[in-house]
Every structure is written in C-alpha cells, then in structure tokens.
Amino acid sequence: MSFSVRDGKFDVLVVAGPRVVQWPSVGVRALARTCADAGLTVGLIGGDTLFARGVAPLPGTGAWVIAEDAQGRVHRLHGRAVVKLAALSSRPDPFPGAWSEGLLPLTTALWLARDERFVFAPATAILGSGNGALRFGSRLLERGVSEVMCIESHTQWSSKRFAGWEVERRRFEMAGGKLIEARPLSLTRQGPVKIEFRLEDARGIRVLEVARVVSAGPFAPGPGVREFPPGSSLFELDQTAPNLPGEDIEGHQLEEDRALLLASRIVRRLRSELGDEERERVERIARRSKSAVRRQEAHREEPFLVAYQGKWTAPADAKRIRSFSGVPRTVEFQKKTASVECFETIGCRECQRVCPVDAIQFGKEGRILDEQACTACGFCLGACPSGATLMIDEREGRSSVELTLAWRGDHLWKTGELATLVNRRGEVLGSARVTGIIALLGQEAGGMPVPTSVPAPVQLVQLAVPGHLAWEARGLRRPRSAALPGDSGMTAYASGGLEGRVEVTLNGEKRLVRDKVNLTRALFETGWNRAGDSLACPDGSCGLCSVTVDGVKRLACRTRVHPRMAIKLEAPAYGTPAPLSSALCPCLGISREQVVEKIRQGDLRSPDAVVSVTGVGSGRCHGALCCEPLRRVLDESGIDARDWIDWRFPWVDWKLVPGERE
Amino acid sequence: MRPDSEFVLLGTGLAPLVTAAELLAAGRRVVLINPEPDFFAEDSEFPLDPLVAADVVSDPAAALRRLVRSSPERALSVLRPGFPGAVESWPTEPHATGAGGLRRDPTAPHVRARSRLWLRPARAVDWPSFEDFYLSSLDAGLKPQLAEGLAAVRRFPGASGRSGLGAQTEARGLLVPRLADVDVNRYRYGLLEFVRERLGPEGLLCGATQIGFIPDGVRFHFEGRARTVQIRDSALVFWTPRLTTWVLGQAKRFEVPQLLPPGIRFWDQWTLRSREALDPATVGVFEEMTVWGELEGAPDAAGTDLLTVLRPGGGVAPGSWSQGLLAPPIASGESIQSLSRICGDLLAWNGFSVRAHRARMVFDWESWSSQGPQDRILSEASPRIELLGGADGALVDVVERARQVAGRLA
C-alpha cells in the first residue's frame, strides 16, 4: 500500500478547518472570486472531494497544505497565501466532570426540550449567560421548571454586548431565573435526573442538586480575521455563516464582507504589479468591505438597551395577544403562518374575504385562525387596511424569526436592506434585515386585487427579526443610519421529523427509539448523553462516539437506527479526566494547572511553545475539546493568543489506499 | 538593567543555558540574551543522535562511534553534574518507584535506556552491511542481537502485540540494547528555571532584537527600549541555524574571512497517533527513519499512543543557505510515502492520524570541517567575540560541548 502524491502550486489556498459546515461558504466564495478576478490562482480544499489533512508553514511566507482527494491520492499543495476557514466553537470552560455524562450541550438540550416528557425540573443549571443560554432558561421557566440558574465562571458583564442581551437577561430574571457568578468545580451524577454540582463563588463552595447541567458557551466574539505570524500570509477566517442565508443573514453578510476585505489584502500583497484600473478596483473593494465590516461588527456588538426601556408590551397584554384566537398557537417548529392580531369588534372582514383557503373565520371573540389550513399566501396582509395582520415563521433554536409585514410606502424595499423595527405604538425597537420580498400585491402590480379603499400596491416584506422582538415588532420603516444593532450568533440546529419508533437492544435491555435517526440522537433520547456525542464533528473523524452495533465497532454519529439493532456502549473513549484539578485536555488527562505550571516554568510567551511543551491537543479529539479552553488559559496567563492559529496537522485520519507511487 | 557583566551569552537553545549555569557556579557574572521570544523556540536539541540511523550503511565506523557514545551511563555522567535536581534513569518496570527501595522523582527528566532496532526486508541488498556492523558492534561490547521474521518485527514500535502483520514478517533485524535518549523538555525547562532564578529577569532576556556589538559591550532592544550591557571578558555566540543571518552580518562587519555557514540538515518530525497502545521500549530504524513511542517521564502501564517518526528531509549545501530556506525539502512527497511504508507496509495499520509535523534543522558540521564543530573568533578587540559551534544536535552532545566551553572560560 502506498500513497500517490501529487504536487501543486497556487497563489491562494482556502482550507476548510474542522467542523466547518456549508462548504464553500459565502465567505470562501467571495474570497475566491475576488482573488481569481485579480489574476491569482485559487485552490479550495474542503467539502466531500478534497480533504485538508494539515498545513506545514514555511519559513517566511506561505505554507504547504497536505490534502487527500476522494480517490485517496495525497496532494502537496504550495500556497503563497493560505486561508483557513475556522468554525466557531461552542464549548464551555472545562472543569472536573465537564466531560462526564450529564452535561448537555445547548443544542442537544434545545432538541430534547421539545419533548415534554424530558425532565428539566426541579432545577437546571446552564453554563454560560449569553443570549442563547438566557433564552433557553426563560423557556424552561415558562415550562414550569422552578429553578433555573445561568452560571458564568469568569464574569465579564461589560463584554456581554450582544444585541439584545440586556433584554434577554431582564426577561430571564423576571421569569424567576438566577444569574450566578461562580466557577464550576465538579459534576457528579447521582441518578438519572439528579446531579450534584459544586460551585465556587465569592462566599465559598456551594453544592447544587440539579436535574440537568446545560453548557452554552463561550460567547466572546473574536476578531474574525487573523494572521499569524504577522506577514506570514497565513490567515484564519471565522465562519459566521454556518446556516442557510435565511436563517442567519447577519452572519452571512459579515463573513462575506470580512472575506472581501481579506481578499483585497491578499491581492495587494501578492500582486505588486497591479495596473491602475485593477488597483483602483481592489482599493474600492477594500474600502467598501472595510466600512461594511465595521458597520456589521457594530451592528452585532452594540447594545441598544436604552431604546427598549419602557417599550415592552405589558405581560398581561402579551398573554392576551398570545392567547387570542387569531394568533397561531403552535407556530413554533411548524411553518410560516399568518397571525391576525386584530382585536377590534368591527365588521371589517377583508381578511376573511380574500383568504383562498378559508383559514380565517369569525366567531364570538373575533377572528379565528385555522393555522393548519393557512398556506401563508399573504393575501390577508395585503387586504388588511390597518396592517393588523402579519406572517410569522418562528423556529426553535434560530437566532432570528422571520416576520412578513405589509409595506405601502412609496419606495419599495430590496432584499438585504436594513430596516428599523417599530412596535405597536410606533416606537423604534431596533433593526432587522430584509431577507426577501414575498410578493407585490395590488391592481397595478397585476397581482391579487386588494380592496379599492386601500392604496396599492402592497409589498410583502420578509424580515429577519431578532428572536426576542418577534412578538413586539409590528412595523418597519427606513433607518436613519445603517449602523443599527441586531441579534445573531446564537446556536441553531436543524430539527428532524418525527417518525415511528422501533425496538433496539441497548446494553442487553430493550428500548424504543425513533427509527432511522442518528444513533447519537437516539442515545440522547434514551438518557445516554455522553460527552463524546456532543461534538457533532461532520465526518466522524473525532472517533469519540464509538459504539458497538451488532458486534461491529461503529461511530454513533455515522450510524442510523434500524429495527432490532443491538447496541453496546463501552467506557468513554476519551481518557480519564484529571481527578483533582480541572481537565483542560481530557483525552490526555492534562489539567489546567499543569499547563499553567509549564507556562510559568518555561516563561513561555507564545501559544506554539505552550502546545509544543504541554502536548495539549494531541489526543483523540484532535483539539476539538481543548483548543478554545487552551486559548482562554493562554489569555489568563498573559500570552496573547488572539492571533494564534493552530496550524498543526489536525483532525482526521489518513487512509491507506492502493495506488501507484509517483 | 545590570550595567556590566563578565560574559554575555547569545543563543537560542540549551547550550548557552548550560554554559551560563557553569559560569555562575564558578562565580562569574553572566547575561544571557536570546533573540527568540520563547527560549526554546528553535528546538535545536534532539533526544537521541539522529545521525546513527543513516550512518550504519554509509559510514559504519562513524555509526559505531556514535553508538558507543550513546550509552545511558555516558548520558547520565554528562547530564547529572550541574543539573539542579535529579536526572533519573528509566525504570525497567512500569510503575517501579525505584530499585533497592529508592524513590524516584516522577517529575525529573529521565535518561531512557531503549533498544535500537534496525529493521530491513529479508532480501535487502544492504543486509551484509548490517551483518558487518553486527560483528563490529559485538567487538565494541554493545551486545547486539540478530533477529528474523516476526520476532524482529514485533519489537518494532507500533507492531508489538499486533496480529495480522502478514508479509511484513519477512524481515530481519539488528538490535542493539540499552542506548540512551533523554527527556528533552524536562531537562531544558528544568535548567532554564534554575538559571532564570539565578540571573533574574534582568540577566536572562528573551525576545531581544536589533542586537549589535559596540565597543566594550552589546546593544539591543528589549521590551521596546534600547539597552546596553558592558562586557568585561567576552561575548559567546552559540551558532544555531536561526542565528545564521545575524551571524553572517556580524562576520561581515568584523571582516571575518571565509565564514560560510555549514550545510543544513532538515528533518521531518512527524507525530502519529496509534489506535493501540505502543510499547515504548524500542527505538526502531526503518529505511532512513527513526521511530519511537513518545513518552515523557517514566513509562506507565497504559503505554503511549503517540508515535514519532524522524525522517531526514535532505539538506542544503554550504553556501546555498538563502536559496535553501525559500523552499526547504520538508513534508515532501517522499516523506509522506515513507510514512505510508511504515504505517501501511510494515505496521499494517489501515489508517493513521498525523497529530503534528515539525520541520527541524541542524547544522551539518561535518560538511564544514572533518573535525566536527569548531569555534571561530569574530573579534579579538574588546569585546572579544567567540562564535561557538555544536550548539545543536543530540542533547547529550550539546550539553557536553557547552560544558567544555564553560570549563575553558571559567
């Protein structure tokens, strides 16, 4: 057996890092297009056909990128500039027990919370205090969980400048949630829904007994584009667009603008002999993208809490609205649905008249919506003369909700524009981006006729609205400034459809699990929330979720449930955590204290030296568990890790395939 | 900033540290300047002599000389004096706390005694050379052994305890027991901590830039400020590849004739993760590659799963320094094919995970001078500047040479 090795040469190589989804992402496409337009050769390494196996930086600038294609041939590609697309991390700070059973990642918890039978009561602790954590906590409290705590280990409240964070915090605290500044010490599972959770706060050590511990961090945003070392032309670009454009248009815009800015930087560095016209074009791209990035980052980071003061719907009114018969009850996780929020006892029945499927009826209490029948055609929006009807598409876990509002202004909206959101009283709430134009209704537009009393045409504008504004924002107008806050960066997940349950054997016991779902999810449903299952690596390369299925060793994340399968779970695949201290690298059992001691002993000043001396990241998880915690330890030790890119040969196995030696 | 010192040592690795420790012990005043932000960023010391592997066929006399010098006894005798703490020898049994009731320090650097196994295909044309080497090493008292088939293959790191080695069993091996290699990290950082405590933050300076000699002293920038140190005796420059550009600049300034950098040997150091625990007791040599199980401290029952493969990656001839660095022969297709031959053909792994790759380079002093590393005088005037070679390579040799320099000066 041998490798076929082929050499290649590119000006720019764009490499997919571990756990990157959506390849090529919007940023990669923009970067490749801009560089190629400037006459540079660009290679993309990622996706299903070409796998990056590692990067060997060269002295000076550039690097060798080792890649393997689908036929098993190994390519050694020289890039004058290399860009690594890095997935955003969502792992919390480690502590003893953090990798044991019982700790649920937020994505998993969101998914499990859909099932009412899954117990979070009487108490649940959430590690992290970002928007996602607070929103999940609020939801648990609404569901009847009596005690929910959001725990932050090293509190930097001033850095919690995510759009809407103050709002989420207030809602969480008003619902009865607690924010605790404490350091998790240990987690001991004492029963199926009983976990002993030790914390250390300013007053000392306290012990909580909780049903679940959910991890939901970190949230500190990074710089987005890094070069390490300066002048090396080795860049790292954060993937802020892991979802579809409709799900997170802010992330898409930001990644694209950052990529354009980076592309212009690369072009200027690699092509010194640019002509005047071409140079002007690159400069223009740089200027535009720079201002756009600045605007986007301000949009993501700047809080707009002042504008919210006193503008919320009163809880009693909100309850009345949500329980109104014209408002969809099961809108979450279902589909886009009309919401007829007309509480007037008047004889106007325009919405009922235009509805092609008779989904809107009139009863004693006013309008009644048959949300199952509603096809979200939007005709009722165009017909309503007072704009009391809208469409809402709210999916659990998404950072934003899609509202469709009627617009009768002179200037029509275009996709991608920023709009100012207003509440029912016309007060400014914040900003949202137009994600699409659903329709242009009206006689002049040749579409659905609207009542003659209503000025036409009517534009149905779809907006990506921060989730916490979904039931507050009911109007839009053009902003005075483009730099408006928004909400993004929270965890999203795709929900799977419910299917029939089948019988499987789990460690010798019969269990009913959903058919044809991922085995990882099936295990979660049966209560086996193993830490290794939570990594969600895209290709099973982490190897941490191994199980024995029908006598054959397999990876749970790559195996689908089928009837009568025999599953045997073994001891956790990762190493034993360091017993007395916080495990930074659980695979190798390296503690945080050991790393700090090595840094002190060697007076280490660079992240590379720390990695080299401690060996953190050399374990089975390929750095997936320890990279971000290590970054934080470096930060605490005074080592500047902001520009650190781990260029080690990472994350996947090389398979040996027959091939001719070249 | 201390205004003056008897010696200023300038270097990036262990050699200036050892020299500094010796000079301090002799009561001399020392300032140590390292242009790298981390003291061992260059990583110029190997745990074992990497040249033994290649020399067995090409230069058996030199290989034998190197093997004789690789005994654990010599390593301990070189490393123990002057080291601030224990230097342990490797226990023969896992979890052994010590022989004869003596407790071993688990955090101390260890001198390991591992067998060295040269493995060749049964029909390899160069096998007679190994047989000759077997005889000569027998005469030298190294107690070598010859092995064939599975008995040979199974002692190779990564192959022990594995079934299904199949056709790979048609191999022959030459085994030399008890050769030394060292815990490089622990030794280096232990000494660094000791020297830093003695010198203080003003005496051991990392990350110095714009270093240049002035009459009676040396001037450099440190933490954003220009500093000057007066030199009473001499300045010692420990020449490693990272300092070459600076050294050549100084040689030009002091008009030193015929100072060309030695050739450079590049090494690919691959770290692979094995799916099964490795037996760390043997260092294997397959083709031109040296292979060992990576382990720090004493071995434990769990063994290790990190396999290090050190492969010579070609060299840059003397004089072609600047061109050679632009496209160094590292991570080459041949290197990857060699990994494939080790993991696929020899160890019968169905896949392997590359955890790290490091391009390492050391001077090829033998291409410079047949007598190995030699010292040059850059300037006789005040300050006297000595350019010292041999500051890179096997850790034991580096320490020995640095100690010789210190002994001469103290």
Q: A23, A255 in Cβ contact below 8 A?
A: no
CB contact under 8 A, B331 and A56: yes
Report CB contact under 8 Å: B351, A648: no
With contact defined as beta carbons under 8 Å apart, do B378 and B256 qualify?
yes
Tokens of A243: 């979802």
The first and second tokens of residue B23, run together, are: 């000079």
Clarify whether residues B150 and B234 are in a common domain. Answer: no
Q: Structure tokens of B230?
A: 């007066």
Name the residue of chain A whose CA is nearest to B190's CA. Answer: A601
pLDDT band at A303 (very low <50, low <70, confident <90, very high): very low
Task: Tell me whether residues B354 and A2 touch, CB distance under 8 A.
Answer: no
Q: Report the CATH number at residue B228.
A: 3.50.50.60
**Across A149-163, A628-642, B258-272, least confident range:** A149-163
Range of the domain at B133: 63-91+106-180+263-366
Q: What are the structure tokens assigned to A147, written together?
A: 């005690």
Domain co-membership, B191 together with B223: yes
CB of A7 within 8 Å of any CB in chain B? yes
A502, A519 contact by CB (below 8 A)? no
Which residues in chain B have their CB less than 8 angstroms from residue A653's CB? Answer: 351-353
Residue B268: CATH number of its domain: 3.30.9.10
46-75 in chain A: CB under 8 A from chain B: 53-54, 56, 58-60, 64, 66, 74
pLDDT tens column, A399-452: 568 889 988 777 788 877 777 788 887 777 777 778 888 877 765 545 555 555
pLDDT at A157 over 70: no
User: Is the Cβ–Cβ distance between A159 and A301 less than 8 Å?
Assistant: no
The residue in chain A having the minimum alpha-carbon distance to the alpha carbon of residue B304 is: A588
**Predicted-assembly ipTM surpassing the 0.95 threshold:** no
What are the percentages of helix, strand and coil residues in chain A, rounded to 5? 25, 30, 45
Tokens of B81: 């004096």
**Residue A177: predicted pLDDT:** 93
Q: Chain B: residue nearest A622 by CA? A: B355
Closest CA to B232 of B34, B15, B1, B8: B8
Instruction: Kindly report the nearest CA distance between residue B207 and chain A, in angstroms.
Output: 9
Residues of A with CB below 8 A from B328's CB? 58-59
pLDDT: which is higher, A266 or B410: A266
- Do B79 and B155 sit in the same domain of this protein? yes
Domain annotation covers residue B100 = no
Interface contact A657, partner B, CB < 8 A: no
Q: Are B318 and B261 in contact (CB under 8 A)?
A: yes
Mean pLDDT in chain A? Answer: 77
DSSP line for B367-409? HH-TT----EEEESSSSEEEEE---SEEHHHHHHHHHHHHHHH
Determine how β-strand B30-34 pairs with β-strand B4-10: parallel
Q: Encoding tokens for residue A313?
A: 């719907």
For β-strands B289-293 and B304-316, DSSP reports them as antiparallel
A637 vs A394: CA distance, rounded Å: 43
Please list the residues that pair with B309 across neighbouring strands: B270, B291
Residue B305 is assigned to a structural domain of this protein: yes
Q: CB–CB of A56 and B328 under 8 A?
A: no
Residue A30 contacts residue A259 (beta carbons within 8 Å): yes
Q: Is the Cβ of A1 closer than 8 Å to some Cβ of chain B?
A: yes
Nearest-by-Cβ selection for A601 from B189, B327, B356? B189
Chain B residues close to A2, C-beta within 8 Å: 337, 340-341, 344-345
User: Hey, CA dihedral for B72, B74, B75, B77, is it positive or negative?
Assistant: positive
Residue B56 lies inside a defined structural domain of this protein:
no
Task: Confirm whether B58 is domain-assigned.
Answer: no
CB atoms within 10 A of CB B410: 14
> Are A583 and A94 in contact, with CB atoms under 8 Å apart?
yes
Tokens of A325: 């018969």
SS (H, E, C) B179-226: EEEECHHHHHHHHHHHHHHHHCCCCEEECCEEEEEECCEEEEEECCEE
Given a contact cutoff of 8 angstroms between Cβ atoms, the answer to whether A61 and A231 are in contact is: yes
Measured CA to CA, the distance from residue A390 to residue A387 in angstroms comes to 7
pLDDT at A492: 25
Interchain pair A76, B343: CB under 8 A: no
Q: Do A461 and A138 form a contact (C-beta atoms < 8 A)?
A: no
Q: Taking CB atoms and an 8 Å cutoff, what residues of chain B touch A657? A: none
Q: How far is B264 from chain A (nearest CA, A)?
A: 14
Q: B193 and A54: CB-CB below 8 Å?
A: no
| Residue B126 backbone class (left: φ over 0; alpha: ψ -120 to 50; beta: rest) | alpha
- Give yes or no for A602 touching B (CB within 8 A): yes
Say if residue B291 is in the same domain as residue B329.
yes
Give a yes or no: residue B302 inside a domain.
Answer: yes
* Dihedral sign (CA A571, A577, A583, A587): negative
* CA Rg value for chain B: 22
Chain A residues 115-144 within an 8 A CB cutoff of chain B: none
Residue B398 φ then ψ, to 5°:
-60, -45
Task: Collect all residues of chain B within an 8 Å Cβ-Cβ radius of residue A58.
Answer: 327-328
Helix (H, G, I), strand (E, B) or coil at A377: coil
Cβ-based contacts of B190 with chain A (< 8 Å): 601
Q: Mean pLDDT: which of A262-271, A610-619, B46-55 is highest?
A: A262-271
Residue A490, pLDDT score: 22
Say if pTM beats, i.e. exceeds, 0.90.
no
Q: Nearest Cα to A62, choosing from B267, B12, B330, B318?
A: B330
Q: How far apart are CA A318 and CA A391, in angstroms?
A: 17
Same domain flag for B166 and B276: yes
**Burial class of residue A10 (count of CB atoms within 10 Å of its CB; 0-12, 13-18, 19+):** buried
Helix A249-270 and helix A26-37: axis angle, to 10°?
30
Which of A387, A381, A351, A385 is closest to A366 using CA atoms? A351
Q: Give me the residue spans of the domains in chain A.
A: 5-88+225-301, 103-215, 308-477, 501-568, 575-662
* B332 and B273 within one domain: yes
Asked if residue B76 is part of any domain, the answer here is: yes
What sign does the dihedral B75-B76-B78-B82 (CA atoms) show?
A: positive
Residues B341 and B389 in one domain: no
Task: Name residue B118's beta-bridge partners.
Answer: B174, B285
Tell me, yes or no, whether B250 and B384 share the same domain: yes
The CA-atom distances, in angstroms, between A185 and each of A574, A580, B114 are 20, 10, 41
Inter-chain contact A76–B353, Cβ cutoff 8 Å? Answer: no
Asked if A653 has any chain B CB less than 8 Å from its own CB, the reply is yes
Provide the pLDDT confidence category of residue A1 given band limits of 50, 70 and 90: very low
Pick the CATH number of A103-215 from 3.10.580.10, 3.10.105.10, 3.50.50.60, 3.30.1330.20: 3.50.50.60
Distance in Å from the first CA to the final CA of chain A: 13
Please list every residue in chain A whose beta carbon sits closer than 8 Å to the beta carbon of residue B354: 53-54, 649, 654
Residues B146 and B295 in one domain: yes
Which range has highest mean pLDDT (A89-93, A353-357, A620-624)? A353-357
Distance from CA of A557 to the nearest CA of B (A): 19
Q: Residue B50: which H helix or E strand, with range?
A: none
Task: Name every residue in B having a CB less than 8 A away from some CB of A.
Answer: 37-41, 43, 185, 189-190, 192-193, 196, 206-207, 270-271, 273, 296, 306, 325-328, 330-333, 336-337, 340-341, 343-345, 349-357, 359
Of B37, B207, B355, the CB nearest to A649: B355
Residue closest to A196 by CA, chosen among A181, A212, A209: A209
Kindly list the residues from chain B whose CB atom is less than 8 angstroms away from the CB atom of residue A60.
325-326
H-type alpha helices, A1-130: 26-37, 106-113
Higher pLDDT, A649 or A354: A354
Residues of B whose CB is below 8 A from A640:
none
The answer to whether residues B15 and B241 touch, using CB atoms and an 8 Å cutoff, is no
A3 in B contact zone (CB under 8 Å): yes
Among A211-225, A480-494, B49-63, which is the least confidently predicted range? A480-494
Q: Write out chain A residues lying below 8 Å of B38, CB-based.
A: 602-606, 608-609
**CA–CA separation, B191 vs A466, rounded Å?**
57
Is B11 among the domain residues?
yes
Please enumerate in sequence order all residues whose Cβ is within 8 A of that of A594, keeping only pairs 6 or more positions apart, or say none. A578, A581, A584, A614
Chain A residue nearest residue B348, CA to CA:
A1
Q: What is the rounded CA–CA span in Å between residue A285 and residue A279?
A: 10
Residues 6+ apart with CB under 8 A from A614: A585, A590, A594, A595, A598
Residues B151 and B80 in one domain: yes
Q: What is the largest CA-CA distance in chain A?
A: 83
Whether A656 has its CB under 8 Å from any CB of chain B: the answer is yes
Same fold, A5-88+225-301 and A103-215: yes
CA dihedral A254, A260, A264, A270 (to 10 degrees): 110
- What CA–CA distances, in Å, run from B19 to A329, B33, B72, B203, B374? 79, 13, 22, 14, 16
Q: What is the CATH number of domain A5-88+225-301?
A: 3.50.50.60
Q: Which residues pair with A212 in a beta bridge?
A: A124
Cβ atoms of residues A145 and A123 within 8 Å: yes
- Report the percent of chain A where pLDDT is more than 70: 76
Residue contact A56–B349, C-beta within 8 A? no
Lowest mean pLDDT among A70-79, A281-290, A524-533, B43-52: A524-533
The per-residue b/e assignment along A539-549, b for 16 or more CB within 10 angstroms, e otherwise, is: ebbbbbbbbeb
Total of domains in chain B: 2
Say how far apart CA B66 and CA B115 lie, in whole Å.
15
Q: Which helix H or strand E contains B60, and what residues bound it?
A: helix B60-69
Q: What is the pLDDT of residue A249?
A: 66
Among B169, B188, B181, B138, residue whose Cα is nearest residue B11? B188
Contact, B47 vs B184, CB < 8 A?
yes
Count Cβ atoms below 10 Å from residue A146 Cβ, excluding itself.
Answer: 11
- B356 near A618, Cβ under 8 Å? yes
If asked whether residues B343 and B332 sit together in one domain, one would say yes
Which residue is closest to B275 within chain A, CA to CA? A620
Cα A185 to chain centroid distance, Å, stands at: 27
- Please give the Cα distance from A213 to B134 (Å, whole number): 63
Whether residues B210 and B322 fall in one domain: no
CB atoms A656 and B349 under 8 Å: yes
The answer to whether the Cβ–Cβ distance between B341 and A2 falls below 8 Å is yes
Q: Tell me, yes or no, whether B96 lies in a domain.
A: no
Q: For A10-39, write each residue's pLDDT tens digit.
A: 999 999 887 777 888 889 999 999 999 999
For chain B, 410 residues long, give each residue's pLDDT as a single digit of tens: 456 889 999 999 999 999 999 999 999 999 999 999 899 988 889 999 888 877 788 888 988 998 999 999 999 999 999 899 899 888 755 555 544 556 777 788 999 999 999 998 888 888 889 999 999 999 999 999 998 888 888 888 888 655 555 556 678 899 999 999 999 999 999 999 999 999 998 899 999 999 999 988 999 999 888 999 999 999 999 999 888 889 988 988 888 887 777 788 888 899 888 777 788 889 999 888 999 998 888 877 667 788 999 998 877 776 666 655 556 677 787 888 888 888 888 888 877 778 888 888 888 877 666 666 778 899 888 889 999 988 999 999 999 999 999 998 87
pLDDT at residue A442, as a whole number: 65
Residue A654 sits at the chain B interface (C-beta within 8 Å): yes
Q: Would strands A212-215 and A123-127 be described as parallel, antiparallel, or unpaired?
A: parallel
CATH class, domain A501-568, is alpha beta
CA distance A308 to chain B (A): 47
